Structure 1
Amino acid sequence: MIHFVGAGPGAPDLITVRGKQYLEEADVIIYAGSLVNPQLLEYSKDVCTIYNSAKMTLEEVISVMEKAEKEGKTTVRLHTGDPCIYGAIREQMDILDEKGIAYDSCPGVSSFCGAASALNLEYTLPEISQSVIITRMEGRTPVPSKESIQSFAAHQASMVIFLSTGMLEELSRRLIEGGYREDTPAAIVYKATWPDEKKFICTVGTLAKTAADNNITKTALMIIGDAVNAADYDRSKLYDPSFTTEFRKATK
């Protein structure tokens, strides 16, 4: 069996109980070494073979899985955050399907949730934003043209931008071109939930300067939108005494 496991955003105690159990039981662990906190590997048992996939190709990863499966071993494929976001898991699963190798997926806490916790932020404030757009800039890896930053910016929703720290001047230009004000609140969160976490509140127009002033060049998320520091928002209807729900009748 292959277990695809979300490692969480960084802090080793933010992996799920199930994910930790899989790590403790694994005979083989293949972890995304460029992003996963290596402290998580301390949960492994004494006799466990560990591979760093940052130095491997897809074919090499599959070869390790296939060999372990033939030997009756349990493998954990440990991805950062939640592997359903930029985890490149589908291509692995498709090959495993072709080879008849069983697998399952254990979700993790995504770094966009870790970044919100670092800022004590709620992305979905009533009358401010009720949607979260998760995206990235195109770099060496393209993005579909229909998913341009400009087109998403037109919605004025909360936006979380991955994998784009080295392109912040261009990001700001596209956000403003798409409809965000230059003074729209923004935040940069570096290595959310890690011991060396850093967080900075800025604006769409000052993203690049904020990153440069603080030597942030990678491993950061950008959060865009009025929810970053909104003070004037409506209270939740769910807890409003004048609002009837399935569990409580209005009292006003």
Structure 2
Amino acid sequence: MSTTDVATTATQGQMSQVAPVVHFVGAGPGDPELITRKGYRLVSEADIVIYAGSLVNPDILAACKKGCEIHNSATMNLDEVIEVMKRGASEGKAIVRLHTGDPAIYGAIQEQMDRLKELDITYAVVPGVSSFLATAAALKQEYTLPNVSQTVIITRMEGRTPMPPKEKLGMLAAHEATMCIFLSVQMIDRVVEELIKGGYSPKTPVAIVVKASWPDQRIIRGTLETIAQIVSQEGVLRQAMIVVSKVLDSDYELSKLYDKGFSHMYRSAKD
């Protein structure tokens, strides 16, 4: 284990560093080469891996060493996941909880980490490449173009998980920022209705990337007034990121960062 793999715990009012027993690892959006080097190493060294169902590319699990105990959390509830971690910790085993994308976004890791705190089991988090970033790469698109959009909103349509009152999709739409909408393609009609009601023009460009970075990745384009019908025709129901933004089809100003007339601490302006 690397000297950088440490977790911080409070002991008698002082902070001490100990090796974590559990690593929450972001597996990336799908392409097995998009997991970080650290994440891949931890998977290859783990005695127990608990992975997030069909969303994790099985090619990543191929890195597990012989004899590694592998659990599919799609068939498990929270208590069962924690019980595997608790048992593994008591046996002195290295445990990886493998989530897709970056686990900080819709990963439901906070409840797991809080339970581990209660059990005094140390843990650490290894970030990953989120699917909203893999989507931008697939689209060959920058989300923050000068004079078009300088804000990216990451959100989802309200479903079984309710949204706080001030985070309803229609309210967020008032900003007309670049919006990356997770877990909502199956409700595309409602998404479109809320966005237009909230302030986006029906002509606003929309791009949907299905299974970003996977071999069977697909890109669907349209506008808010056409995208629902296109999605219905394409039969898209899951594993898709919705991007709504004028950056997808707009003129923009060039960045000041590389403007020859703009000086900063590393470069003087030139005529």
1:66 corresponds in structure 2 to 86
Structure showing the higher helix proportion among its residues? 1
2:12 corresponds in structure 1 to none
1:162-187: CA deviation from partner (whole Å, max 9, x where unpaired): 01011111110100000000010011
Letter matched to residue 148 of structure 2: I
Structure 1 residue 207: deviation in Å? 2.0
SS in 2 for 1:143: coil
SS in 1 for 2:270: coil
1:178-217: CA deviation from partner (whole Å, max 9, x where unpaired): 0000010011110000001000111112221111111111
SS in 2 for 1:62: helix
Alignment of 1:151-190 (within 5 A): 151-190=171-210
Letter matched to residue 249 of structure 1: S
Letter matched to residue 84 of structure 2: V
- Runs of 4+ aligned structure 1 residues displaced above 4 Å come to none
d(CA) in 2 for partners of 1:121 and 1:236? 15
1:108 corresponds in structure 2 to 128
Alignment of 1:55-134 (within 5 A): 55-134=75-154
Unaligned 5+ residue runs, structure 2? 1-20
1:237 corresponds in structure 2 to 256
| Contact residue 221 and residue 227 of structure 2 kept, 8 A | no
d(CA) in 2 for partners of 1:198 and 1:26? 33
TM-score of the pair, normalised by structure 2: 0.91
d(CA) in 2 for partners of 1:152 and 1:62? 35
| Contact residue 43 and residue 64 of structure 2 kept, 8 A | yes
1:206 maps onto 2:226 in alignment: yes
d(CA) in 2 for partners of 1:200 and 1:19? 31
What is the Cα-based RMSD across aligned positions, in Å?
A: 0.7
Structure 1 residue 52: deviation in Å? 0.3
Structure 1 residue 34: deviation in Å? 3.3
Equivalent residue in structure 1 for 2:216, among 166, 177, 196: 196
d(CA) in 1 for partners of 2:34 and 2:233? 30
Equivalent residue in structure 2 for 1:14, among 23, 30, 34: 34
Letter matched to residue 144 of structure 1: P
1:143 corresponds in structure 2 to 163
d(CA) in 2 for partners of 1:204 and 1:124? 20
